[in-house]
Structure 1
């Protein structure tokens, strides 16, 4: 049963925080009143289109633009030789061993992946610009290519960057190798796995888009764009285009989803901005869906070998992981952090593992760059961990739930220092597991599983006890790890003379519900009605500074910045109220927006009345300036670590490979919930994406580095009918590292779901000795796993298992 929403009219300041108030964003979004970047129109606006390499790897001998330039309506056609910019696309996270080859805005001599930009056309109409691009003639010499990250670092592999000796972008490790080796030498039992965490293509509702406008009179460049972090885009684009930062205005209007795909700096937004300055006309560029598939940053792309060491009782003593991580042809903005510090540091999972060692080799490949995708490193880590944990339980002959319970970090061992650098803030893992077990009726389910097997039906129960790191911090630590930016957040809270409030935050929401949850936070802190509070994000001229929205950081860092500023407002208002009420500040009590003299509640003053007096400034205490607004730059002491247990229950038909969900239960602990309905929605969306990876999605390149899943006809995005009904619940373990105690929820479902589903399918197929199937678990993949198993057909007793008569050539059911 879902959580019922509350209308704003039914709220009061005493109950606003933690209430399932309806999202205030939704009316404009669902009625079409919301303005997205592509909706923006400017007088005399031109349109840009990009010519992209048709090859995955090729030498560019020449580019002939003459036919395109001669077309009616074409304003200009530009190649790499025409760009007079000093900068290239920057890398925003550095590692000690990192190689950082140049990433030009347009490829000049070499195209390194299909979709690499070669030229741009600017025209009066969008379709004229597109036709002009088609008229450009490029003389290519196709070269050998490589797309598999493990093969890419082998000797003799085609080298992506001619100025590098090989394709190794970095060779990184974390943990104690000697201690971990000793744990394996002494282990009574071990389990191991080879797995692929496949490359994924983000599918936000809105593709990337830009409207750039140069104003010669003021030498200002205003850029509306689909951004998850406008201030960071301003900073990076300033260096690329050589435009002073104070002359560059970035605005993120309504943004139709991001999932990490709109964090990084791409060539395209900078090219549109350069063209606007070059032509002195507003220029719009909107990616097509196929263009997004080719050029937007992809996610995941890991090839991993993992090992687990256990003593004779099944207590985990060590873990070893070796991963080859595909980076694509170039390093995207935060790409080096994703398979290293956002991956290796989570390999302890929820478990008390004394020794861990992880080695990650980053590989350049002839494919689209890889960067953060919902979860960013943590889904990859927890997938590897939870698959190993499941195999460890199988090796020990233990129930998978009890094996997990036995190895959980004890609830009295927090904060918990892991052997892979991070210290978990707070946790209590057993209650979430117990709630999930109760919700699925675990004991009865196991009995029914045995009964159904006697009937030739195969039920599977899959566990995922996950942990996540959110709100990467503090900035000092991030800097030590290689971040080229601080990871604080700003919040400005302004109480107007009428008592209404505008709160500005440096995050940049794109579907998460910030306008609702942030207003709830400020209302709770100030005691001012929720409807009297406006939230502003996404505009570099409005916000003091900001670091954006990604990594489930908005509530823990952005929300805490607003809470801190609100508390500062209350402290200033308290001084003014004490003066107005002719009482000492120590005697003033504050509750639900009301300042009152202790012991004399009739002597009181509401904070909105204090605001009016602060702007009149007729009777102010000594040393207090007029006005009522405060700013905070909040830098947390540590990450926050949400966690939970998800359980998937499926039935698998080994004759066809078909998988049918019977149940999906998600019990998450994200700390105190600002808005339970929004939390529930985030879990639903995250689980849907995780199931998409588990069963349907996967980017594939052929041997020539051609993307063969370049459209929705070839890349399966799950539909509503593919997503099971979910039962959600929660436990609450506050974080000690921020004033709200909150953790993060935006990526939880995506981190938890893939391994829950894969564990469920392999559990169902235990009678066939199927221990692992790489994602996506298509019907064909499942059918082949059953047929390739050592005892194929022995348990099922069906000729279809032996001869394949149950499926057609494409793996579908006949």
Structure 2
């Protein structure tokens, strides 16, 4: 159960909405007092290790575990044949997209362990359970697999070719989905009449998620109640509990999910993974808890990967540079199996998010989603939102260069103005608030756009190439679903917020406590947060899609209003006044026009002590409330990056970074800025260094930190310039828009546009991500040789 209590020394502080309150979670974590899943140990627990396919593709003819079963400490070995009689459910893809012809997309069944074929390196085939973790891992290495190796395919373009290796009989040509969005005839007509058309082939490179905390789980089973309990990291326990129950084939109330601290997720830990089914099976069969903790090298092939899309992006413009239509035609690599939301990122989220803050009349998306012999693709920070913005911003810079129009002016000509709001887009979304031109102009000013020429000259004197890039973005957040906002006034004088969203690094405790302090006057230091125990919740949409403060924040606001109504009735009886005469402000109930009153915490304490009340009055101020769904919000901003490139090595350094954002009401500006810093550096990693490579046999070449480069502190800009220009949304009680994914959405286009700008003197018009030193150096050398030849 994830319950957090703040230090006593902040008990009297009062921090409301809009104040830069320090994260009260941090002292616990830096003292090493966090409780992550691997910190959980249950009496008598056993340990599990997984046997994974060493081949990317092949027919699984047999699993020989006899030697493993005979090894010291081994209690059991399970294969797909052992799980089959239990009729466990499949690991589901919840997306329901239709093909271009209206037929449903193909959803190949994935069970916990491979049975007929293995489809990627790392595909789990068996699980070994032993008395110690080392014994389990040693025995797992003794299991031998009889696999008839088949040719592998790792790229979608190759997978859909005639004669390509086929992963599933039910997916001819390896095609899962032939997706189409938009009015193809109208888009074609717009392109036909356009004065100019810009086309770019763009690669959205695959990334490894690399959460700080590897996945882990501890499973137990109670035979009397028939209930499973799983301790595992998640992004919200309520919905995932239901998904786990479905996978195990039991009613939802027979599943209990507990999540403690979570060391990062970025979308990945929200899913049900095969390991969890195997652990719960073993716990039931062996009548003992079973624990598993992923190894870092194993995480590279057992976790989901992110991104991986190739697209031809097109922008049609009239002679004045006004946008007429966009069209995106490409491929989405799903990996070997469909994850819960695997097809979403390369399809609908491109349609919704590529429009950005521009008056784009028409949009068309054509995506072939296919399976390959690679690690499955799942949601990764932004889940299609950064990609859509990246495609559009690269198109705009390229169109500006081709048409001889200043890139700033081209954007201004096409931005939706405040007077045009609400603005209905061709993707079915409606922008409700914002000042895109004003925000854009402020970003240019903050970045000293006019002073760039002098900075470029200075870089040139030092032998460096300097470039600048704009990354305007507007993203569609996930719509806030039903979310719990329980407020429990405890006997010890604290107030517990119960919520179905879940903090995996964001700092929810502090932000939610600020909302509660603002609305009820509850002392900031007397607020607790309960978020990770499914038995304590009645609803919960989980954290994802930048919706937590909109959903949980709104639930807290509405629950606070219910508390006030209950409190007014009790206070009227205590103060011997009429309910209509009771007012509430700043944590105190008072009789209107007098100084007679009672603080809300004192009233709650008297109720907890057993205040003798008439039977028709509430006996507690506590409430359990569910906030109903609200529309999506549209956080937006402009990021401007400057880079320096060493032409001798191709090394790129981000030397300046400015971001001006509209997140609506900002509850805690310090937390928001921190979220942006992390997201920006994550985007820099994808733009400049992160590269996931498979060889022709489907082996992951970049399978460790020796081969896969993550951004480090030295790769971050020396200074971040951060500003907010909030325009609150009218569609949730706080007016918040969400911020968690905005860093990536702004950094991918701004950094890559800056790289292209720096190389423009060599005639370079496009660079694919990642712009590694080798890739940049090669472009410079090719351009130099071409110039010499001419």
TM-score range, shorter chain: over 0.9
- Per-residue CA deviation, residues 341-377 of structure 1 (Å, 9 max, x unaligned), is 3222112111111111111211111111111001111
Alignment partners' CA distance in 1, 2:330 and 2:703: 26
Alignment partners' CA distance in 2, 1:126 and 1:146: 34
8 Å contact kept, 1:150–1:303: no
Alignment partners' CA distance in 2, 1:48 and 1:11: 44
TM alignment of 1:203-602, pairs within 5 A: 203-449=210-456, 457-473=464-480, 487-496=481-490, 499-600=493-594, 602=595
Alignment match of 1:193 (pick from 169, 185, 200): 200
- Per-residue CA deviation, residues 397-422 of structure 1 (Å, 9 max, x unaligned), is 22222221221111122222110121
8 Å contact kept, 1:213–1:281: yes
8 Å contact kept, 1:452–1:458: yes
Query: With structure 1 as the length reference, what TM-score do the two structures score?
Result: 0.92
8 Å contact kept, 2:422–2:432: yes
Name the residue aligned to 1:711.
704
Deviation at 1:33, TM superposition (A): 1.1
Alignment partners' CA distance in 2, 1:533 and 1:367: 45
Name the residue aligned to 1:685.
678
Alignment match of 2:662 (pick from 669, 673, 682): 669
- Per-residue CA deviation, residues 681-703 of structure 1 (Å, 9 max, x unaligned), is 10110011000000110211111
Over 3 Å counting, the alpha-carbon distance change for 1:792 and 1:736 in structure 2 is: farther
Alignment partners' CA distance in 2, 1:521 and 1:455: 50
Name the residue aligned to 1:480.
none
Deviation at 1:446, TM superposition (A): 3.1
Deviation at 1:793, TM superposition (A): 6.2
Deviation at 1:792, TM superposition (A): 4.8
Deviation at 1:620, TM superposition (A): 4.4
Over 3 Å counting, the alpha-carbon distance change for 1:635 and 1:608 in structure 2 is: same
Query: With structure 2 as the length reference, what TM-score do the two structures score?
Result: 0.95
Aligned with 2:349: secondary structure? coil
Name the residue aligned to 1:31.
31
Greater mean alpha carbon deviation, residues 90-99 or residues 505-514: 90-99
- Per-residue CA deviation, residues 536-582 of structure 1 (Å, 9 max, x unaligned), is 11111122232211111111112211221112111221222233333
Name the residue aligned to 1:119.
126
Deviation at 1:615, TM superposition (A): 4.5
Deviation at 1:396, TM superposition (A): 2.3
Deviation at 1:278, TM superposition (A): 1.1
8 Å contact kept, 2:351–2:363: no
Name the residue aligned to 2:3.
none
1:62 correspondence with 2:62: yes
8 Å contact kept, 2:91–2:112: yes
Alignment partners' CA distance in 2, 1:226 and 1:7: 25
Name the residue aligned to 1:76.
76
8 Å contact kept, 1:488–1:635: yes
Alignment partners' CA distance in 1, 2:636 and 2:532: 29
Alignment partners' CA distance in 2, 1:343 and 1:7: 44
Alignment partners' CA distance in 2, 1:654 and 1:501: 59
Over 3 Å counting, the alpha-carbon distance change for 1:567 and 1:498 in structure 2 is: farther
Over 3 Å counting, the alpha-carbon distance change for 1:650 and 1:85 in structure 2 is: same
- Per-residue CA deviation, residues 208-249 of structure 1 (Å, 9 max, x unaligned), is 100111222333221110111222221122122223322221
Name the residue aligned to 1:129.
136
Over 3 Å counting, the alpha-carbon distance change for 1:72 and 1:454 in structure 2 is: closer
8 Å contact kept, 1:640–1:743: yes
Alignment partners' CA distance in 2, 1:252 and 1:167: 37
Alignment partners' CA distance in 2, 1:173 and 1:85: 39
Over 3 Å counting, the alpha-carbon distance change for 1:447 and 1:183 in structure 2 is: farther
8 Å contact kept, 2:228–2:256: yes
Aligned with 2:348: secondary structure? coil
Greater mean alpha carbon deviation, residues 81-90 or residues 761-770: 81-90
Aligned with 1:262: secondary structure? helix
Name the residue aligned to 2:101.
none
8 Å contact kept, 1:471–1:557: no
Deviation at 1:434, TM superposition (A): 2.1
Alignment partners' CA distance in 1, 2:717 and 2:348: 33
Over 3 Å counting, the alpha-carbon distance change for 1:499 and 1:124 in structure 2 is: closer
Name the residue aligned to 1:477.
none
Deviation at 1:751, TM superposition (A): 1.5
Alignment partners' CA distance in 2, 1:448 and 1:208: 45
Greater mean alpha carbon deviation, residues 356-365 or residues 398-407: 398-407
Over 3 Å counting, the alpha-carbon distance change for 1:648 and 1:792 in structure 2 is: farther
RMSD of aligned residue pairs (Cα, Å): 2.1
Greater mean alpha carbon deviation, residues 494-503 or residues 393-402: 494-503
1:635 correspondence with 2:628: yes
TM alignment of 1:782-801, pairs within 5 A: 782-789=776-783, 792=785, 794=787
Aligned with 2:141: secondary structure? helix
Aligned with 1:572: secondary structure? helix
Alignment match of 1:736 (pick from 698, 710, 730): 730
Aligned with 1:550: secondary structure? coil
TM alignment of 1:100-179, pairs within 5 A: 100-179=107-186
Alignment partners' CA distance in 2, 1:316 and 1:12: 55
8 Å contact kept, 1:85–1:240: no
Alignment partners' CA distance in 1, 2:637 and 2:785: 36
Deviation at 1:632, TM superposition (A): 2.1
- Per-residue CA deviation, residues 278-308 of structure 1 (Å, 9 max, x unaligned), is 1111111111111111021111100000011
1:85 correspondence with 2:118: no
Aligned with 2:660: secondary structure? strand
Over 3 Å counting, the alpha-carbon distance change for 1:737 and 1:131 in structure 2 is: same
Aligned with 2:366: secondary structure? strand
Alignment match of 1:606 (pick from 568, 574, 599): 599
Alignment partners' CA distance in 1, 2:437 and 2:459: 29
Name the residue aligned to 1:808.
none
Alignment partners' CA distance in 1, 2:785 and 2:390: 27
Deviation at 1:497, TM superposition (A): 5.1
8 Å contact kept, 1:462–1:649: yes
Deviation at 1:11, TM superposition (A): 8.7
8 Å contact kept, 1:315–1:407: yes
Alignment partners' CA distance in 1, 2:162 and 2:711: 39
Alignment partners' CA distance in 1, 2:413 and 2:11: 44
8 Å contact kept, 2:11–2:526: no
Name the residue aligned to 1:653.
646
8 Å contact kept, 1:493–1:502: yes
Over 3 Å counting, the alpha-carbon distance change for 1:684 and 1:100 in structure 2 is: same
Name the residue aligned to 1:806.
none
Alignment partners' CA distance in 2, 1:12 and 1:72: 57
Alignment partners' CA distance in 1, 2:535 and 2:312: 48
Deviation at 1:605, TM superposition (A): 1.9
Alignment partners' CA distance in 2, 1:608 and 1:43: 40
Over 3 Å counting, the alpha-carbon distance change for 1:236 and 1:636 in structure 2 is: closer
Aligned with 2:625: secondary structure? strand
- Per-residue CA deviation, residues 145-177 of structure 1 (Å, 9 max, x unaligned), is 111123222222211112332211111222222
Name the residue aligned to 1:40.
40
Provide structure 2 residue ranges, at least 5 long, that are not aligned to the other structure.
1-5, 99-103
Alignment partners' CA distance in 1, 2:371 and 2:41: 39
Over 3 Å counting, the alpha-carbon distance change for 1:656 and 1:114 in structure 2 is: same
Over 3 Å counting, the alpha-carbon distance change for 1:682 and 1:526 in structure 2 is: same
Alignment partners' CA distance in 2, 1:414 and 1:348: 15
- Per-residue CA deviation, residues 37-68 of structure 1 (Å, 9 max, x unaligned), is 11112222111011000011111111111111
Name the residue aligned to 1:484.
none
